[in-house]
Amino acid sequence: MQHVLRVLRPEEYFIVDEPYYEPVGDEIAVFEAAYQNGLPILLKGPTGCGKTRFMEHMAWRLKRPLITVSCHDDLTSSDLVGRFLVKGGETIWVDGPLARAVRAGGICYLDEVVEARKDTTVVIHPLADDRRVLPMEKLGELLEAPDTFCLAISYNPGYQSVLKDLKQSTRQRFVALEFDYPGSALEQRIVEKESGIDEGRARQLVKFAHMTRNLKGQGLDEGASTRLLVHAAKLMVSGVDPVVACRSSIAQALTDDPDMLTAVNELSASLF
Amino acid sequence: MRRLTAVELEERLDVHLDPALSSRRTAARPAADLAAFPRRKQDFVLHWGAVIARDNAELAYQFTAFAPQAMALMDLESVESWLLYAMDLYDKKGQMPAIRAFQEVADFAANQQEKLAGRALEDCAGVLERFVCGLNGRPLKILAGERTFTDTETCFLPPVVGRLPDKEANFRLYKAMAVHQWAQNWYGTWRGGVLLEAVESARLTGADLALVHALEQVRLDACIARDFPGLHRDMAALRRALDPDAGEADPHWRALVAPLEEPRADVGVSLGLAARLGARLPLPCCYRGELDPASVRSRLEVRAALERDRFRIALAQLLEDRDGAAPGEDRPEAETLPETRERLGIRRQEDPDSPDGVRFELFLDGNPVAPPDDVISTMESIIQDHGEIPPEYLVAAGPGLYRRGVGGEAKDADSAWAGAYHEEGAFLYDEWDMSRQHHRKGWCVLREHEVRPEDPAFYHRTLRKYGGLIKSIRRTFEVLRGEDRIIKRQHFGEDVDIDALVDAYADVHAGLEMTDRLFTRLHKDERHIAVMLMVDMSGSTKGWINEAEREALILLCEALDTLGDRFAIYGFSGWTRKRCEVYPVKRFGEPYDDDAKARICGINPRDYTRMGAPIRHLTGILAEQEARTKLLITLSDGKPDDYDHQYRGEYGIEDTRQALFEARREGVHPFCITIDEQGADYLPHMYGPANFTVIADVTRLPLKVSDIYRKLTS
């Protein structure tokens, strides 16, 4: 593998090659319209169904840098906005990713936003309504967002605990786009395109995904996502035995329960 | 040690076999047989004879009589599994099957090898159930049965499969059996009632039915080969190993069954072919089992009625959503509303995006509507049975159907089903039998019963009585409550720690190394505790103790409410293994409100203290809670005890101890507060040395309980 290491500042991360994305409905048109009108966007959907890929595709389409923040429960507002650091005996201000995105007029994508603490999500409120400003309390400044700036957040309504629901005051500021696993034929095409696997194998993989989705609620929290299917397909293209590929890239990723693992492995073995 | 003589043996056997002996049946014969064995084996028989006699003297006699034969055939370990197998049968099915098991010792010994290599259904039912559920369609239950068949909701499989030399191969045979039964359901052996009709009109007799089944198997195997090549490979390999001379390769036979292997073939093709073939004998197949039209019919009838009603109610719902008013309100008696028929429609559509290639779409007033998920699964189940949504289903339910309830009446755990013999709607729990050193499977029948709320006067009286104490409890517990606090001098945090920065600055100027601990961080100290209070409601608590228990509960609840810890209160009581009871006073998630307070006042003494099953039940509830610390606190007044003498004493203590072990394995910390002065004698054994408190004076219970809780959780 030849690789030229590129080190980029987040706001310079422009996506040059078109990321592969198969539209399921009119999500691209809706996103573009929202973007033109300066409205923030909320992506809902289960894990691995293409939310992040959609964001990359849109960033490419709109030719804006994409700054992604994966939220976690220790994420504080200063992690987003910025903080003072001590450097050489002086305190200097360092912008957080959200402030950088606003300054650069890029797209800021807060992935899995409900994972962040509730007080953190509040800092995006002024950015997410018609004010479109980011207050930087510690600097005593307001950062006004240029027209090209766009805020997008994602969340998975499926598995998170009730404690981590998105607040009404947050969600009601956004244009919401719902994502789900694509239909069988489309999903098969995606698996083929992403991995270069042949049609028959791709069909079997999609069928296997549906089997695991049958088990949702019967002991599995989630069925296999499209992303997992692509992983399995890539392994298979590299010459890994299909049953082994499904076991290591799908079954083990879905569950730790030994009975469930055996059942899922038997399901994949029944297809290949 | 010296070998015992026949006379000595008879003397010892007489002691515990006495109730089963008579003038015609003495222990002389078994004693004489046993005299030939070495002392170790003699002791083994004497020991187990005594253990079994505690349950049933007749069985003990049978065991003793057949033990010599058993020991001649098998080693001691196998003899032990033979007697445990018989005792399990006794627990589950009663005396006769157990006696038979003892008598058939030779069979057991012969099957021993098979049993060692075989798979027990118990061990793999969970995997099979999930596997079949994953394949497609309606989930099927897996149960052990004497015959191998499906009633379209359950797969009945043999309890043990040992036809193949190793466990893995035997599992594959199980899988093949389950898949064949699933295939009957999914690929439509019973669809549309075609086969059932043929059987009921007496066109098909037993032998013909077997032939139809064999042809169906060919058809289903072809379906499986198309959809699940891996599975088909496995099943074909099994047939090669187990049905070597099945004669499938015969070209004449192949030509005959070719139409069955067409993708469009259905059960009608099998029926037609069977009629032409006449009295031909079906080929053997290791995983086929049999067809049982009668049980399918009875299942189907219940399910069809249920799903038809559910579907019609769902249609009424859709109409209501569309019109903004419930249909047919003017006719409270009507079960269906025929005028809705023409507004509804259903269409079958080819759809490459659905996993099966077709989709059924529901139409209301000519526009497609999307029913909710539960209705979709009802529709799928109907389609699985009928191949379509029958036109007569397409009519909305009227108010009469709502009132009657779906598919007959609902079952209520408190009414007829509360009796000792109906185990429906109840939870079954294992119990530890110390003398057997084994669990008795599904031995205890446990139910949850409502607690009737009582006048909350008792609550207010308690608050007045302990007014000062409650204030101080609240104060102490408020201190305990986790508060947000700012920690200084951190590596990272939300804010700069100015003090630290000034110090660091000074350090740098003095030429020292500068620290990087320059931030303050907000630390959230959340108490992450779930507490289950398990309250003794046995008859012995009557009077003072019960009152003290309730007072203690009220004080503790006040404390817990201040603290914000999640808690639940369950009472427990019981009367033999068939009637273990728990009484939810306050569940997790329910608020501590007036209703909960009234239910605390309604805690009344009832029967006995069979503790194992309630502990197992409450552990299960507690384990579902998401909390870092899970506490199970028992308030009790004495040892585990029950109406039957067996549970009393050591047996009960050991079972409770085992249940607590299991709880600890689930991450639950058990703790016991007792007023039994003798508690210190047995509680360390059950709960561990530091996990209990004995309160000698009942009146001090309310004062102490909150105190204990504070120490326990801080």
ipTM of predicted complex: 0.76
- Smallest Cα distance from A29 to chain B, Å: 22
Contact (Cβ atoms closer than 8 angstroms) between residue B146 and residue B119: no
The answer to whether residue A1 scores a pLDDT higher than 60 is no
B445 occurs within a structural domain: no
Return the residue matching tokens 């189907």: B300
Instruction: Please report the pLDDT score of residue A126 as a whole number.
Output: 92
The minimal CB distance from A270 to the residues B228, B352, B504 is found for B228
B420 occurs within a structural domain: no
Instruction: Please report the pLDDT score of residue B481 as a whole number.
Output: 64
Q: A19-23, B80-84, B370-374, B390-394: which has the minimum mean pLDDT?
A: B370-374
Among chain B residues, CA nearest to A73? B524
Is the sign of the CA dihedral B237, B243, B249, B252 positive or negative?
negative
Among chain A residues, CA nearest to B131? A263
Give helix then strand counts, H and E, for chain B: 26, 21
Q: Do B134 and A215 touch (CB under 8 A)?
A: yes
Put residue A50 in one of left, alpha, beta given phi > 0 → left and psi -120 to 50 → alpha. left
Q: Residue B113: which pLDDT band, with cuts at 50, 70 and 90?
A: low
B98 occurs within a structural domain: yes
Q: Residue A28: which pLDDT band, with cuts at 50, 70 and 90?
A: very high
- Tokens (6 digits) for B500: 């630290």
Chain A neighbors of B626, CB-CB under 8 A: 161
Angle between helices A51-62 and A27-36 (to 10 degrees): 50
The whole-angstrom separation of Cα B360 and Cα B40 is 71
State whether B217 and B135 are in the same domain: yes
B254: how many CB neighbours lie within 10 A of its CB?
A: 12
Instruction: Please report the pLDDT score of residue A140 as a whole number.
Output: 86
State whether B287 and B153 are in the same domain: yes
Domain boundary among B80, B95, B117: B117
The whole-angstrom separation of Cα B391 and Cα B394 is 5
Interface test with B, best of A181, A266, A271 (most B CBs within 10 A): A266
The whole-angstrom separation of Cα B427 and Cα B448 is 9
Instruction: Please report the pLDDT score of residue A169 as a whole number.
Output: 84
State whether B561 and B696 are in the same domain: yes
**On the CB side of B334, how many CA atoms lie within 13 Å of its CA?**
17
Instruction: Please report the pLDDT score of residue B396 as a whole number.
Output: 82
Chain A neighbors of B355, CB-CB under 8 A: 184, 206-207, 210
Return the residue matching tokens 């899988």: B175
Instruction: Please report the pLDDT score of residue A165 as a whole number.
Output: 64
Total residues belonging to chain B = 714
Chain A neighbors of B133, CB-CB under 8 A: 214-215, 218
Instruction: Please report the pLDDT score of residue A60 as a whole number.
Output: 94
- Smallest Cα distance from B576 to chain A, Å: 34
Asked if B234 reaches chain A (Cβ–Cβ under 8 Å), the answer is yes
N-terminal to C-terminal alpha carbon distance within chain B: 57
State whether B550 and B578 are in the same domain: yes
B82 occurs within a structural domain: yes
Among chain A residues, CA nearest to B507? A89
The whole-angstrom separation of Cα B549 and Cα B542 is 10
CATH number of the domain bearing residue B534: 3.40.50.410
State whether B540 and B496 are in the same domain: no
Contact (Cβ atoms closer than 8 angstroms) between residue B619 and residue B632: yes
State whether B97 and B35 are in the same domain: yes
- Smallest Cα distance from B153 to chain A, Å: 16
How many degrees, rounded to 5, is the angle at CA A38 between CA A37 and CA A42? 110
Q: Span B651-656, mean pLDDT?
A: 86
Domain boundary among B504, B524, B544: B524
The whole-angstrom separation of Cα A55 and Cα A108 is 10
Interface test with A, best of B121, B128, B131 (most A CBs within 10 A): B131
B544 occurs within a structural domain: yes
Name the pTM for this structure. 0.64
Instruction: Please report the pLDDT score of residue B409 as a whole number.
Output: 42
State whether B125 and B64 are in the same domain: no
Q: What helix, strand, coil percent values describe chain B, rounded to 5?
A: 55, 15, 30
Please give the residue that has the higher pLDDT: either B455 or A2: B455
Q: Do B352 and A185 touch (CB under 8 A)?
A: yes
- Max alpha carbon distance in chain A (Å)? 66
- Tokens (6 digits) for A267: 């399901």
The whole-angstrom separation of Cα B164 and Cα B680 is 54
B472 occurs within a structural domain: no
State whether B140 and B236 are in the same domain: yes
State whether B15 and B107 are in the same domain: yes
Range 197-256 of A in CB contact (< 8 A) with B:
206-207, 210-212, 214-215, 218-219, 243
Domain count along chain B: 5
B474 occurs within a structural domain: no
Contact (Cβ atoms closer than 8 angstroms) between residue A123 and residue A81: yes
The whole-angstrom separation of Cα B62 and Cα B82 is 13
State whether B363 and B510 are in the same domain: no
Contact (Cβ atoms closer than 8 angstroms) between residue B121 and residue B174: yes
**Residue B684: phi, psi to the nearest 5?**
-55, -35
Q: Residue B181: which pLDDT band, with cuts at 50, 70 and 90?
A: very high
Chain A neighbors of B495, CB-CB under 8 A: 78
Task: Give the pLDDT confidence of A190-209 residue by residue, as tens digits.
Answer: 999 999 999 999 999 999 99
- Smallest Cα distance from A10 to chain B, Å: 22
Contact (Cβ atoms closer than 8 angstroms) between residue B300 and residue B152: yes
Query: Which of B451, B457, B481, B685 has the alpha carbon at shortest distance from B570?
Result: B451
Put residue B192 in one of left, alpha, beta given phi > 0 → left and psi -120 to 50 → alpha. left
Q: Residue B406: which pLDDT band, with cuts at 50, 70 and 90?
A: low
State whether B649 and B637 are in the same domain: yes
The whole-angstrom separation of Cα B433 and Cα B647 is 9
The whole-angstrom separation of Cα A56 and Cα A49 is 14
The answer to whether residue B422 scores a pLDDT higher than 60 is no
Residue type, B304: A
> Exposure of B138 by Cβ count < 10 A (0-12 exposed, 13-18 middle, 19+ buried)?
middle
Chain A neighbors of B377, CB-CB under 8 A: none
Residue type, A146: P
Q: Do A272 and B130 touch (CB under 8 A)?
A: no
Domain boundary among B117, B139, B154: B117
Return the residue matching tokens 């992506």: A43
Contact (Cβ atoms closer than 8 angstroms) between residue B662 and residue B654: no
Asked if B354 reaches chain A (Cβ–Cβ under 8 Å), the answer is yes
Task: Give the pLDDT confidence of B540-592 residue by residue, as tens digits.
Answer: 777 777 888 888 888 888 878 877 778 899 999 888 888 888 898 888 888 88
Instruction: Please report the pLDDT score of residue B204 as a whole number.
Output: 75
Residue B429 pairs in a beta bridge with B444
Which of 3.90.1170.50, 3.20.20.140, 2.160.20.10, 3.40.50.300 would CATH assign to domain A10-178? 3.40.50.300
Instruction: Please report the pLDDT score of residue B408 as a whole number.
Output: 46
* Alpha-helical segments (H) within A129-198: 168-171, 184-195
Q: What helix, strand, coil percent values describe chain A, rounded to 5?
A: 45, 15, 35
Chain A neighbors of B126, CB-CB under 8 A: 259, 263
Task: Give the pLDDT confidence of A126-151 residue by residue, as tens digits.
Answer: 999 889 999 988 788 899 999 999 99
- Residue range of the domain that includes B27: 6-117
* Alpha-helical segments (H) within chain A: 27-36, 51-62, 77-81, 97-104, 118-121, 125-128, 168-171, 184-195, 199-214, 226-237, 242-246, 252-254, 258-271
Interface test with B, best of A22, A74, A79, A86 (most B CBs within 10 A): A86
> Exposure of B29 by Cβ count < 10 A (0-12 exposed, 13-18 middle, 19+ buried)?
middle
B370 occurs within a structural domain: yes
Instruction: Please report the pLDDT score of residue B411 as a whole number.
Output: 42
**CB pairs < 8 Å spanning A and B:** 84
Per DSSP, the three-state class of B673 is strand
Give chain B's mean pLDDT. 82
State whether B557 and B680 are in the same domain: yes
